[in-house]
Structure 1
Amino acid sequence: MSRGFRLFYPALPVLAEHAPHRAVYVGDVDGRCEILAWDRRAGRARQITDRPTGTIRAALDPGGNTVWWFDDDLAGVGTWRICDFDRPDRSVAALPTVDPARHGGIAMAADGGAMVGLSGDDGLVLRMRTADGQVTERARVAGYAYLVDLDPAGRLVAVGADASAATAVTVLTVDGARVAEIAGRPDRRVWALGFAPGGGPARLLLVVEDRGGYLPATWTERGGLVRHDWCRFDTEITAGWFPDGRRILVRQDRHARSLLHEVDLDGQTRTMVDTPPGSILDAAVWPDGDVAYIWSDSVTPPQLRSVRGVELPYGPTGPDAPGAPDESVTTDCHRDEIWVPGPGGPVHALVATPTDRERPRPAVFLVHGGPFQHARDAYDPLVEILVSTGCTVVRVNYRGSSGYGSAWRNDFGAGVGLTQLEDLAAVRAHLIAQGAIEDRRTALWGTSWGGYLTLLALGRQPELWRLGVAISPVADYVAAFEAAAPAVRELDVLLFGGTPEQVPERYARASPITYVEQVRAPVLLAVSTGDVRCPPAPVEAYARLLAARRIPHQVVRRQAGHEDFDAHSHLALMQTVLLFMQRHFDGVREEGTPVALAMARPAG
């Protein structure tokens, strides 16, 4: 990777379909994510956006002439702007008569126009901006939905929704007429991924969950849905097309790592793509045929790689730009993985242990977000920071985590949150029995869903945990449901089997505020003012209940959205959390803590 602009957000650069030497990507600009225009022939990148809170969404027209970027606020509400690839300093509103809304997808037409999805409380609105700048509304889709793709001929649009719903995927004409609906079920979910490039009848790629596994499928207007049952995977996959419209690149998440497969749908062949062990955070076949991917492992921050050896460009000041971080700094520790017997089956966990400490050690369980994400064999600066303080760091892929098959991913048998606590407790008990960690010095640290599980565990299992750090958590599920964005409410309905009005007892049983009277451990709470996924007001109410009981706690308030893409803000938060741990969690040392490593990528 270059020492100029580096990756900040784990997503691939977007290349212009008909001018693949032109690209846009999210890069690191002074510790903040911004959109950069990259001329691959010249080997140089130019900064497109410059916003205090950063920018993470961009698109490029097929000819490589026009850059689109989303100008949103902390709550994710904003408008699309456009500028010339060669004149990034002059941007104008792409949809000048359209009110700000949340991003709901964007797809480029071959002639330089674009279909844009914008979502609000009433659903998704699709608008078309033609190459000459005319903007018209084309369709409205009620409820939670998002734009997937526009077919190469510019005639059909694919819209995705809840993958288990009867309208998991809807195909429309560009004028809004319904062409087809592809149904999902709770045990047979369906995801649309995109139309095949090139000419001929439109062919839509999908992933279908079936009998515990996952397989690719295709849809055409004449033939309907065709499942490729010969190509079954035992864990979660996503995929994208090769330029020939015949092969697909499949990315499989499996047991905290990733695999790439080249699949010929017509020839019925499947071949592994040679990639190093670790995690692939994004992958695609570029228009020039190069297979590109974002790769990381436990000691390497995310970096762009490709079969042809592509590298990111230098910034405007060249390879010796000042202030570029040293991405090779890691803490000396022992990394291992374990499988622990649990109530729902073997539980996989990643464990990092200081090499200079006698056993047993204090432990911090880093609880991943989600609920359907997973702890990866990927670089996490929090692991480096916490190991340097003398703690063992444990990352558990409890039930609900992806990468272990649909049965594991869909198992919430003991209740939302409560199922996951069973697995966390099982791994904790195993490590204590092995003499690896101390019984009286185990802590929890989580962000978003991980922060929610942290608060739930402190109240449901107060005898197990001695400290909690909850960043952007859910503290009261009912209150959070009422204040959250539509996409979040859709997820809650899926998890709980209904709304708080329909199944109030399930929400109450899974809500941390129900158990706040049982909390004994010190708690640090971090909230963001613009968070519409995990709203701050319920967390503030939870903190007041802790204060009434004189439980040691601290509330950190940040001017940010749910995801904070400012590395300086993360650095400040990490410093605050470490000071809190030093005061309230015996055994955490201060000296040698490489807090600057928090600059390596956004947390969460």
Structure 2
Amino acid sequence: MTESNGSIEQQQAAMPDWEKRFRAPRVSLPDWAEDAPHRALFVSNATGTYELYAWDRGTGQQRQVTNRANGTTDGVLSPDGEWIWWFDDKDGDEFGIWRRQRFTAPKSTDTGDGDSGGGLGAGAGVAEADAPAAPGLEPSYPGGLAIGRDGRTAVVGRSTDEDGSTIHVVRLGEEPVEIYRHRESAGVGDLSHDGSLIAVEHTEHGDAMHSALRVLRPDGSTVTELDDTKGGTVELGLEVLGFAPVDGDTRLLIGHQRRGRWEPLVWDVATGEETDLVLDLPGDVAAEWYPDGSALLIAHSFEARSDLWRYDLASRELVQVPTPQGTVSGATARPDGTVEYLWSSAAEPSVVRSTTGEIVLDPPGLKSPGSVPVEDVWVEGPGGRVHALIQKPAGTTGPLPTVFDIHGGPTWHDSDSFAAGPAAWVDHGYAVVRINYRGSTGYGREWTDALKHRVGLIELEDIAVVREWAVTSGLADPARLILTGGSWGGYLTLLGLGTQPDAWTLGIAAVPVADYVTAYHDEMEALKAMDRTLLGGTPEEVPERFEASSPLTYVDEVKAPVYISAGVNDPRCPIRQIDNYVARLTARSAIHEVYRYDAGHGSLVVDERIKQVKLELDFATRHLPQ
């Protein structure tokens, strides 16, 4: 053992488990090239920053593709496996251009040992500055990307405050051709296998929560449309899941909500025929094609857990794909019929598994410690039963200091999956309660759509009944209750501290909405559309709703100490509206601390994330009664 290696091992041995969970290398599910399945692209934090990696599965070689101070996670591998497209923004502001480099980059910078074919994070070569992938397109927010099998054609979605949503066909050596434009949100769904059809998701009807579909030719002419938002009082959404992976095949796999939840169906865009699958599975169901187009890989999510199934389109037989209990956060069927999937549970860290029983991609180095399992609790709320997930230190009994960790979205849900943040609180003696309030996905369309007009206040009603259960059950100490969350969870934290001032001991809000009106005017265009849908108009059109849902309205009622962290380049929860809220706290000498960092909507840098958790834990230690 070298002295250097010995020193590293000593440092790791002295490192607390909560920090190891953040530092341990982790990987995403590898995305493989359709016509070159031995070539794959994945994301990893192996160097301490989340970046893209190319992986030649035939040779085992892995190469770091991107190397930016604030990290890179948005990348697409072309179907021929020759090109990697990646999105280049500025310091996490999500506004930028697509760049590309070859899968086997001919030029590299020296990252340590000069070995351009090394293993994950071990001196792998990093390509020099990449050329723009779509010359002629100005910087924008990304709106989807689909690359043709010829490697020379792509369909690029984009959005700006000035143009709204646009979609362009980009061919190597030619000027981009605009084929779609609308003020409302829209994006690229998929490009057919032969490149003759383009599926677009759009919200021209003005409801950003429920998309309609349009299929275009590369010249922009319309082939057909499908819109479930018309003809009824209940608006239903559609989503593109992908064209059949067969030349000349006009079947498009889509998701629909016609029976009150997400389900897949096959839509032949040439004939208009719809094949409804009617799967006998509770909860939400998504799907993707098997590589030969004969079957579907079904991803089933129900009550914070998920599993996989294979559906044969000819026989209509549904067969379960064995996975451990927990959460499958991504899955793909390989050409040989095996399935690879990214799995974790609250107690066990994520891993890329295969139905062969093998671990597909196991990064070297420090291994993440596990955590405690999650327990399920159901509490009766004003809108129906509310599902909460509970973790507490092993061997403890209440009442405990308790963290109510509120998820973002709001169209998201907490699940039985591994999360380093909650595990850190548990390590420090706290119980953690996570709540799938109304607005969360995974519990049916009505539950997700329940937020309209009383935004924020509805979620807090559900949080309140779970808080009451936690206290009366003996789990939570009512004198030591922390309300916390990031993004929408940060928004609900600030709103809850103002509207429920006697319920919480302190609040910790990360990248929150704090002043809803200013946030609306400063945020990216797609989020403005979402806010108009949720609140029924702009701040000028429905000022009373924005006022009722804005944390700034209730800032003078806040009693608990407040900690806020924010990225100065955040396009989703912009910094100016947070500064407005902080100024009001300062004016009344309320106890608060603010941490601003150089990134966007969160950080992809491990050291920065650890720093933020340390600051949150320290704030709780100093302000929570002992």
| 1:118 alignment partner in structure 2 | 158
Counterpart among 69, 79, 103 of residue 62 in structure 1: 79
Matched, 1:175 2:228: no
Give me the whole-angstrom Cα distance separating, in 2, the residues matched to 1:279 and 1:457: 29
SS at 2:283's partner residue?
A: coil
| 2:3 alignment partner in structure 1 | none
Give me the whole-angstrom Cα distance separating, in 1, the residues matched to 2:244 and 2:358: 24
- Cα gap change, 1:466/1:414 in structure 2, threshold over 3 Å: closer, same or farther? farther
Give me the whole-angstrom Cα distance separating, in 1, the residues matched to 2:422 and 2:432: 6
- Cα gap change, 1:401/1:205 in structure 2, threshold over 3 Å: closer, same or farther? same
| 1:305 alignment partner in structure 2 | 353
**CA shift digits 1:395-454 (9 cap, x unpaired):** 111111111111222223782111111111111111211111111211111000000000
**CA shift digits 1:156-214 (9 cap, x unpaired):** 10111249579611111111112222113254211111111112331111111023233
Comparing 404-413 and 416-425, the one that deviates more:
404-413
- Cα gap change, 1:50/1:5 in structure 2, threshold over 3 Å: closer, same or farther? farther
- Cα gap change, 1:52/1:512 in structure 2, threshold over 3 Å: closer, same or farther? same
Matched, 1:205 2:253: yes
| 1:85 alignment partner in structure 2 | 103
Counterpart among 176, 185, 210 of residue 144 in structure 1: 185
Matched, 1:459 2:498: yes
| 1:188 alignment partner in structure 2 | 236
**CA shift digits 1:529-578 (9 cap, x unpaired):** 11111111111111111111221100100111113211111011111111
| 1:504 alignment partner in structure 2 | 543
Contact kept? 2:99, 2:131, Cα under 8 Å: yes
Give me the whole-angstrom Cα distance separating, in 2, the residues matched to 1:309 and 1:358: 38
TM-score normalised per structure 1: 0.90
The structure in which a higher percent of residues are strand is 1
Give me the whole-angstrom Cα distance separating, in 2, the residues matched to 1:77 and 1:98: 12
**CA shift digits 1:475-515 (9 cap, x unpaired):** 11111111111111121122122222222211111111111
Contact kept? 2:493, 2:508, Cα under 8 Å: yes
Give the Å deviation of 1:358: 4.5
| 2:588 alignment partner in structure 1 | 549
- Cα gap change, 1:148/1:335 in structure 2, threshold over 3 Å: closer, same or farther? closer
Give me the whole-angstrom Cα distance separating, in 1, the residues matched to 2:447 and 2:77: 38
Give the Å deviation of 1:262: 1.6
Contact kept? 1:336, 1:350, Cα under 8 Å: yes
SS at 2:81's partner residue?
A: coil
Q: Give the residue type in structure 1 aligned to 2:215.
A: V
| 1:156 alignment partner in structure 2 | 197
Comparing 415-424 and 246-255, the one that deviates more:
246-255
Give the Å deviation of 1:228: 0.5
Give the Å deviation of 1:523: 0.4
Matched, 1:52 2:69: yes
Give me the whole-angstrom Cα distance separating, in 1, the residues matched to 2:373 and 2:84: 45
Contact kept? 2:211, 2:239, Cα under 8 Å: no
Give me the whole-angstrom Cα distance separating, in 2, the residues matched to 1:478 and 1:363: 32
Give the Å deviation of 1:229: 5.2
Comparing 298-307 and 423-432, the one that deviates more:
298-307
Contact kept? 2:214, 2:224, Cα under 8 Å: yes
- Cα gap change, 1:33/1:135 in structure 2, threshold over 3 Å: closer, same or farther? farther
- Cα gap change, 1:387/1:221 in structure 2, threshold over 3 Å: closer, same or farther? closer
Give me the whole-angstrom Cα distance separating, in 2, the residues matched to 1:497 and 1:233: 34
Contact kept? 1:216, 1:227, Cα under 8 Å: no
Give me the whole-angstrom Cα distance separating, in 1, the residues matched to 2:502 and 2:24: 47
- Cα gap change, 1:311/1:135 in structure 2, threshold over 3 Å: closer, same or farther? farther
Matches within 5 A, 1:527-542: 527-542=566-581
Contact kept? 2:26, 2:46, Cα under 8 Å: no
SS at 2:45's partner residue?
A: strand
SS at 2:310's partner residue?
A: strand
CA RMSD of aligned residues (A): 2.2
| Same amino acid, percent of matched pairs | 39
Give the Å deviation of 1:312: 4.9
| 1:351 alignment partner in structure 2 | 390
**CA shift digits 1:31-87 (9 cap, x unpaired):** 111111101011221111111111111122222122222222221112222222222
| 2:615 alignment partner in structure 1 | 576
Give me the whole-angstrom Cα distance separating, in 2, the residues matched to 1:287 and 1:107: 21
- Cα gap change, 1:413/1:27 in structure 2, threshold over 3 Å: closer, same or farther? closer
| 1:386 alignment partner in structure 2 | 425
**CA shift digits 1:217-269 (9 cap, x unpaired):** 22223322515052365422322111122321121221111121222334322
Give the Å deviation of 1:92: 2.2
Contact kept? 1:145, 1:161, Cα under 8 Å: yes
Q: Give the residue type in structure 2 aligned to 1:493.
A: R
| 2:274 alignment partner in structure 1 | 226
Q: Give the residue type in structure 2 aligned to 1:179.
A: V
Give the Å deviation of 1:288: 4.4
| 2:123 alignment partner in structure 1 | none
- Cα gap change, 1:229/1:285 in structure 2, threshold over 3 Å: closer, same or farther? closer
Contact kept? 2:185, 2:526, Cα under 8 Å: yes
Matched, 1:490 2:529: yes
Give me the whole-angstrom Cα distance separating, in 1, the residues matched to 2:508 and 2:571: 20
Matched, 1:7 2:26: yes
Counterpart among 37, 55, 69 of residue 54 in structure 2: 37
Give the Å deviation of 1:105: 1.4
Comparing 295-304 and 149-158, the one that deviates more:
295-304
Q: Give the residue type in structure 1 aligned to 2:212.
A: A
Instruction: Structure 1 unaligned segments of length 5 or more: list them.
Output: 588-604
- Cα gap change, 1:64/1:358 in structure 2, threshold over 3 Å: closer, same or farther? closer
Matches within 5 A, 1:174-573: 174-185=218-229, 186-224=234-272, 226-228=274-276, 230-231=278-279, 233-309=281-357, 311-312=359-360, 324-327=365-368, 329-331=369-371, 333=372, 335-412=374-451, 415-573=454-612
Comparing 438-447 and 155-164, the one that deviates more:
155-164
Q: Give the residue type in structure 2 aligned to 1:22.
A: R
Give me the whole-angstrom Cα distance separating, in 2, the residues matched to 1:242 and 1:574: 41
Contact kept? 1:43, 1:313, Cα under 8 Å: no
How many residues are aligned here? 572
SS at 1:300's partner residue?
A: coil
Give the Å deviation of 1:310: 5.4
Give me the whole-angstrom Cα distance separating, in 1, the residues matched to 2:177 and 2:26: 35
Give me the whole-angstrom Cα distance separating, in 2, the residues matched to 1:155 and 1:15: 22
| 1:97 alignment partner in structure 2 | 136
Contact kept? 1:528, 1:559, Cα under 8 Å: yes
Q: Give the residue type in structure 1 aligned to 2:26.
A: L
SS at 1:411's partner residue?
A: helix
Give me the whole-angstrom Cα distance separating, in 1, the residues matched to 2:37 and 2:607: 33
**CA shift digits 1:89-133 (9 cap, x unpaired):** 253221233222222211121211222222222233333333x54
SS at 1:337's partner residue?
A: strand
| 1:27 alignment partner in structure 2 | 44
Contact kept? 2:45, 2:606, Cα under 8 Å: no
Give me the whole-angstrom Cα distance separating, in 2, the residues matched to 1:87 and 1:369: 37
| 2:4 alignment partner in structure 1 | none
TM-score normalised per structure 2: 0.87
| 1:598 alignment partner in structure 2 | none
